[in-house]
A and B are shown apart, each in its own frame.
Chain A
Amino acid sequence: MERQRWATACPAVAALGIFAVSLATVGCFEPAPFPCTSDDECTLGRVGSCEPEGWCAYASSDCESGRKFGPYAGSESDRCIERSPETLTFAATLAVCVGDASLDPALCQQHAGPNRLDIDLLDSDTDETNIAYVQFMLEDRIEGREIERARLVLTVASEDSAGSDSTGQLVAVAPFDAVSLTQIVPAVVGMPLVLIRVL
């Protein structure tokens, strides 16, 4: 059986029938494993990624996940990568900048308190609309990962809250600069809001 496989893989060598040569050609069907520690090492004619298993992986349309291990991944060679999605959680690093502060990113950062998040169409005290802003710093935690979906989760805190989950609209602000912030400041009540991009 092994001889048959060997012969199929390397017919020219098999025809020689020389045992010594066969030993020298083991690489025909079992490439030497090449473990990796970083993405930089995975450049098999295309950009790959070093997976947590310690093997390189590359894009592949043959796999549901779109990725499979490369040919030098030992026992995992050419196997599709099928792993369950992992959920990464990030706490807000910035929340709420209201009034004039919302027009300046620096002031927004300065005035934002990491302890309050109100959303109010018409603040009875100021006659202004309270827009909630939140910022999350991802750092390098999702680098090299494929993003499936994202969720913003807020927890109602106040007993007095109306507690509706269908009356706010989420908008991405990008980049975080004065122009973008200005654009999402609502017009006078009764006028349409100017949105950058509704998510």
Chain B
Amino acid sequence: MPGQEVVWEFALDIGSDASVFLAILPQSVDNVQYWAAGGGTPPRLEIDVR
């Protein structure tokens, strides 16, 4: 359903260049478009810090 958020929570391991690179492997996903061409909400990374 459009607008539905899918969230993965994980332990963050920061690379030496202060970047995070992730791959999402489909397992049983059938053509899910998360970020449509020309619009939509960009993927975002949320980090809780103290």
Q: Which residues of A contact B (CB under 8 A)?
A: 65, 83, 85-92, 94-96, 113-124, 129-140, 142, 145-165, 167-176, 184, 186, 193, 195, 199
Contacts and interface: CB of A to CB of B under 8 A. Distances in A.
Contacts of A149: 9-12, 47-48
Contacts of B4: 155-156, 163, 165
B33 A117 contact: yes
A147 B49 contact: yes
Contacts, number: 273
Contact of B24 (A132, A140, A155, A158): A132
Nearest to B31: A120
Given A85-B49, A136-B19, A169-B25, A92 B13 contact: no
Interface of B: 1-16, 18-50
Contacts of B37: 113, 115-116
Greatest chain B CB density within 10 A among A115, A122, A153 is at A153
28 contacts: A87-B48, A92-B42, A95-B35, A113-B37, A116-B37, A120-B26, A121-B30, A131-B23, A137-B19, A138-B19, A146-B49, A147-B47, A149-B48, A150-B45, A151-B7, A151-B8, A155-B4, A155-B35, A160-B33, A161-B31, A162-B32, A168-B26, A168-B27, A174-B13, A184-B23, A184-B25, A195-B25, A199-B22
